[in-house]
A and B are shown apart, each in its own frame.
Chain A
Amino acid sequence: MPKPVPTQQLIDGLLRGDRLALARAISRVEDDAEDAAGIVQAVFAHTGKAHLIGITGAPGTGKSTLVSALIESYRASGVTVGVLAVDPTSPFSGGALLGDRVRMTGHSGDAGVFIRSMAMRRGAGGLAKASAEAMLLLDAAGFDRVLVETVGAGQAEIEIASVADTVVVVEAPGLGDEVQAIKAGLLEIADIFAVNKADRKGAARTVAALEMMLETGSAAAQPIFHHGQRMETGAAASESDAGEGWSIPVLETVAVSGGGVAQLRDAIERHRAWLDESGGRGAREGRRLDHMLQTLVQAEVLARLERALAPALRGELVELMQRRQIDPYSAAADVIRKLSR
């Protein structure tokens, strides 16, 4: 194998707009390589400029096709776009078949577009563990808009709300019972609804059902339970910031032909402007960084805990307790002292 490219070279390249450096930096972050933290640290000062857009919704609703249409629409006005497309990892093999890109061809000669597929690996909530970091890298590389397509989502896949400025929830007609199809969790995090495949019959019914749910707020009032635990949505605050002055639009789109895509882009841009005016941007970014901080601290503390609670040490402490040479509280304090190292 060839020698890996030095970290500093990747950082400099990424900030200069070198696409191979960006691609390799994303891999380092994704692989949790030794220099992953260093890369993110080095580029962090250059982030905060891109508008981060999440595209989520049930499997097969047309998210990738819609992302491709949005890329085209943004590029027509010279806006650059970075894309992160997340697909599931097979729990059996650890491998993944990343197929979103199939729907996003036709932008390859364009230096203003960068599309990266990402396997969920051990991530949760519809995103990969490294999605947030990869978004920072795309931001630092200078893309004006960063679009993130989640895995086909159900009501528990709402992690996107903690990492995006604007969340577009994609629905499609004919997914069975409309009300069933519109998952409570997704309803709660949507800033914009796109009813895609509007060329099919039933689109108007889906739009009406969504509008009715938004009016009554019935779904939004339901807490989201995942494996029996109440979930931290990180977007619960949408009650506070989406409530005032932003009324959630429900738009029909036909991603395959580009129908309604300009309107969708306009809605995203209106939401962006609204975030700027209302102070919502700062609030969301604050929440995002707080979420990242929590995640990093939790991961580090867990890793230290695992080390501190090594079976050998535990065995030793248990023995001491059994011999009444130490009490459980002192034993615990002993372990906790080791955590800070």
Chain B
Amino acid sequence: MKQSQIRVLIAKPGLDGHDRGAKVIARALRDAGFEVIYTGIRQTPQMIAAAALQEDVDVVGLSILSGAHMTLCPKVVELLHAQGQEDVLVLLGGIIPDEDAAQLKAAGVHAVFGPGTTSAEIISFIRNAMAG
């Protein structure tokens, strides 16, 4: 069980400007007692990995609605692992077809949340993962 504050990075990789979902999730996680670092839109995988490292986060949450998830997500996971953050929980939200979600999970994304997911589901997923 992690006793300290849970720190979460919420990032929007790529050129995707749909930031409503990311902001909703960031606020919901703050209201659940997490410390949330929001990076804003137009982040490269390198920028996200650097932020995750400097901020020493427990969770990296990516939000992608543009369809570019198959190239962006594995890259973020790869960079996190290469810099010694294999233990960081990687979550993905947005518009992700089921077959892609399965592949991404095999590539190291821990969970994928589509439209309509409630904040409560996401919060309890993170809490369980941190407790486990």
Contacts and interface: CB of A to CB of B under 8 A. Distances in A.
B38 interface: yes
A19 B53 contact: yes
B37 to A, nearest CB: 5
Contacts of B1: 1
Contacts of B55: 23, 101, 116-117
Given A2-B87, A20-B85, A31-B5, A95 B29 contact: yes
Interface in A88-145: 89-90, 92-99, 101-102, 105, 108-109, 114-117, 119, 121
Contacts, number: 89
Contact of B37 (A23, A93, A108, A117): A117
Contacts of B56: 20, 23-24, 26-27
Contacts of B5: 30-31, 94, 119, 121
Contacts of A89: 35
B50 to A, nearest CB: 4
Interface residues on B, range: 35 or more
Contacts of A95: 29-36
Which of B1, B2, B29, B30 counts the most chain A CB atoms within 10 A?
B30
Interface string A1-44: 11000000000000000011001101100110100000000000
Interface string B71-86: 0000000000001110
Interface in B81-95: 83-85, 87
B122 interface: no
A207 to B, nearest CB: 31
Interface stretch (B39-47, B62-70, B98-106): B39-47
Contacts of A97: 26-27, 30, 36, 38
Contact of A108 (B31, B50, B85): B50
Given A1-B130, A24-B56, A98-B37, A93 B50 contact: no
A98 B53 contact: no
Nearest to A83: B54
Contacts of A33: 4
B53 A90 contact: no
A1 B4 CA distance: 13
Contact of A109 (B2, B3, B46, B130): B46
Nearest to B34: A95
B57 to A, nearest CB: 9
A124 B4 CA distance: 20
Contacts of A102: 38-40
27 contacts: A1-B2, A20-B53, A20-B83, A20-B84, A23-B53, A23-B55, A30-B4, A31-B4, A90-B30, A93-B32, A93-B33, A94-B5, A95-B30, A95-B32, A95-B35, A95-B36, A97-B27, A97-B36, A98-B35, A105-B40, A108-B44, A108-B50, A109-B50, A117-B37, A119-B5, A119-B35, A121-B5
The 7 closest A-B pairs by CB, nearest first: A31-B4, A108-B50, A23-B56, A102-B40, A95-B30, A108-B47, A2-B87
